[in-house]
Structure 1
Amino acid sequence: MPDLHWTIPVGRWSSWPATASAAPDIGFIDPIVRRRLSTLSKVALKVAHDCVAAEPVRVVFASRHGELRRTTDILRSISAGEPVSPTAFSLSVLNAMTGVFGIARGDRSAASAVSAGAETLGYALLEAYAQYQSQADEPVLLVYADEPADLAYGTIEDEVQGGALALLIDAAAPAGQLLCALTQPRDVCAAPAADATRFPTQSQALLHCLETGQPACWQRAGARWHWSWDARAA
């Protein structure tokens, strides 16, 4: 695969740490729906809501595991011969959050979901950029939310940290530019990536870049992802 480099105009961004003790405020969701949502969907909806106003927005939702914990509970119920809630089943799909978000906002804009293993966030950024490039006059909202898999699945390689992150891709009033790169191992020591701090997960790397303005990267066999921030482009 050829090396890829692309630049994303970020209008707003928001994050929610996995270590947060307080529950996310999602008062914009109907109470009947709200109490049925998982923690994963709640934090995803929180950061998504932080980034958008009333305007329509396309959504790219990304999660390595998605609602795997809910699905696992459903499988356990089936195994025990217990009834399965239709609501639990309908909310167990990967893109459940995008449906709830669109209904709550009355927004019929396109929504998609991405899951690509440990590289989920990186490829979701690429998908969001591609959608933005296809129609640059309409913003795209990227929402990433994840949580570690149930212990029943054993040790997961490059396991996620958890938490949620959202970025509004909008050239109308950018807070800055996010410079993204996906390169092959031969470029590990090449500038400008050589000074980037490495992180164990993509979400940690990207959040470090957004919070500090410093370059960050994540690497595994065959691929190196690098992010840097340019506030001067705002």
Structure 2
Amino acid sequence: MPDLHWTIPVARWSSWPAAAAAAPDIGFIEPIVRRRLSTLSRAALKVAHDCVGEDVAAVRTVFASRHGELRRTTDILRNISAGEPVSPTAFSLSVLNAMTGVFGIARGDRSPASAISAGAETLGYALLEAHAQYATDSTTPVLLVYADEPADPAYGTIEDEVQGGALAILFDAAAAASQLTCTIARGPDAADGSFAVFPTQSQAVHHCLDTHASAAWQGADATWQWSWHHGAA
């Protein structure tokens, strides 16, 4: 695969750390639904809502997570193994795109939504998907939501394990203040020495958004790099 390079206009972004002492405020979700949500979904919905607010009527959503609701799924498997009944609600909320459904229903928004999981490169490929959707139709904003948490210890050591937390980025040319440039460079000498390298993609992207300094993540076959540019083209 050749090197890839793309730029997306960033209107706003929001993050939620896994180590936060307080619970995410998702008061916009009905209580009957809210009490059934996992910590992961709550964090994802929190940052998603912070990004779109009340002023974005319709938004296409790209949800990304390496493990998704793996902990909920693991509990379901344990119930099955123990011969215990499985909750239909737990099952319906265990799928990767559960958060997008809850978010769309809460907003009354029927815009398209997709879900992506691509191992350690999940966030990077979600950014590529968001770019593809935005390039196809720039009239409707695209919301990228990334949320993850480490896998249950029952699965043993996970290579390139994720860092917990949630991140949302709204791509909208009409409200953009700056641009995020993403690059996939392949080959042993592909890395730019001026880019700070981080252990996970989420740490690298968050660093770029927060400090406006370039950041990178080194994978087995390629180096992913992100840089910030003030002002939309």
Task: Give TM-score scaled by structure 2 length.
Answer: 0.97
1:64-98: per-residue Cα shift (whole Å, max 9, x none)?
Answer: 00000000000000101111100000000000000
Secondary structure of residue in 1 paired with 2:15 = strand
After superposition, residues 70-89 of structure 1 pair within 5 angstroms as 70-89=72-91
Secondary structure of residue in 1 paired with 2:119 = coil
Q: Could you tell me which residue of structure 2 aligns to residue 233 of structure 1?
A: 232
Query: 2 CA distance for matches of 1:199 and 1:225?
Result: 10
Query: 2 CA distance for matches of 1:233 and 1:133?
Result: 15
What residue ranges of structure 2 are gaps of 5+ in the alignment? Answer: none
Aligned-pair RMSD on alpha carbons?
1.0
Query: 1 CA distance for matches of 2:203 and 2:121?
Result: 12
After superposition, residues 6-45 of structure 1 pair within 5 angstroms as 6-45=6-45
Q: Could you tell me which residue of structure 2 aligns to residue 142 of structure 1?
A: 144
Tell me the CA shift for residue 220 of structure 1: 1.6
User: Would the aligned equivalents of 1:26 and 1:42 in 2 still touch at CA under 8 Å?
Assistant: yes
Q: Could you tell me which residue of structure 2 aligns to residue 155 of structure 1?
A: 157
Q: Could you tell me which residue of structure 1 aligns to residue 120 of structure 2?
A: 118
Secondary structure of residue in 1 paired with 2:175 = coil
User: Would the aligned equivalents of 2:190 and 2:222 in 1 still touch at CA under 8 Å?
Assistant: no
Tell me the CA shift for residue 221 of structure 1: 1.5
Secondary structure of residue in 2 paired with 1:124 = helix
Moved more, 178-187 or 159-168: 178-187
The letter for the 1-side match of 2:30 is D
Q: Could you tell me which residue of structure 1 aligns to residue 206 of structure 2?
A: 207
User: Would the aligned equivalents of 1:60 and 1:128 in 2 still touch at CA under 8 Å?
Assistant: yes
User: Would the aligned equivalents of 1:185 and 1:221 in 2 still touch at CA under 8 Å?
Assistant: no
Query: 1 CA distance for matches of 2:108 and 2:175?
Result: 24
Match of 1:91 among 90, 93, 97: 93
The letter for the 2-side match of 1:59 is T
CA separation of 1:233/1:136 partners in 2, compared to 1, >3 Å: closer, same or farther?
A: closer
Q: Could you tell me which residue of structure 2 aligns to residue 218 of structure 1?
A: 217
The letter for the 1-side match of 2:226 is W
Query: 1 CA distance for matches of 2:221 and 2:172?
Result: 31
What residue ranges of structure 1 are gaps of 5+ in the alignment? Answer: none
User: Would the aligned equivalents of 2:148 and 2:166 in 1 still touch at CA under 8 Å?
Assistant: yes
User: Would the aligned equivalents of 1:62 and 1:145 in 2 still touch at CA under 8 Å?
Assistant: yes
User: Would the aligned equivalents of 1:183 and 1:224 in 2 still touch at CA under 8 Å?
Assistant: yes
Query: 1 CA distance for matches of 2:143 and 2:155?
Result: 31
Query: 1 CA distance for matches of 2:56 and 2:134?
Result: 19
Tell me the CA shift for residue 39 of structure 1: 0.3
User: Would the aligned equivalents of 1:215 and 1:227 in 2 still touch at CA under 8 Å?
Assistant: yes
Q: Could you tell me which residue of structure 1 aligns to residue 103 of structure 2?
A: 101
Q: Could you tell me which residue of structure 2 aligns to residue 65 of structure 1?
A: 67
Tell me the CA shift for residue 15 of structure 1: 0.3
Tell me the CA shift for residue 130 of structure 1: 0.0
Task: Give TM-score scaled by structure 1 length.
Answer: 0.97
Q: Could you tell me which residue of structure 1 aligns to residue 179 of structure 2?
A: 177
Secondary structure of residue in 2 paired with 1:161 = coil
Secondary structure of residue in 2 paired with 1:208 = helix
User: Would the aligned equivalents of 2:173 and 2:232 in 1 still touch at CA under 8 Å?
Assistant: no
Query: 2 CA distance for matches of 1:213 and 1:86?
Result: 44
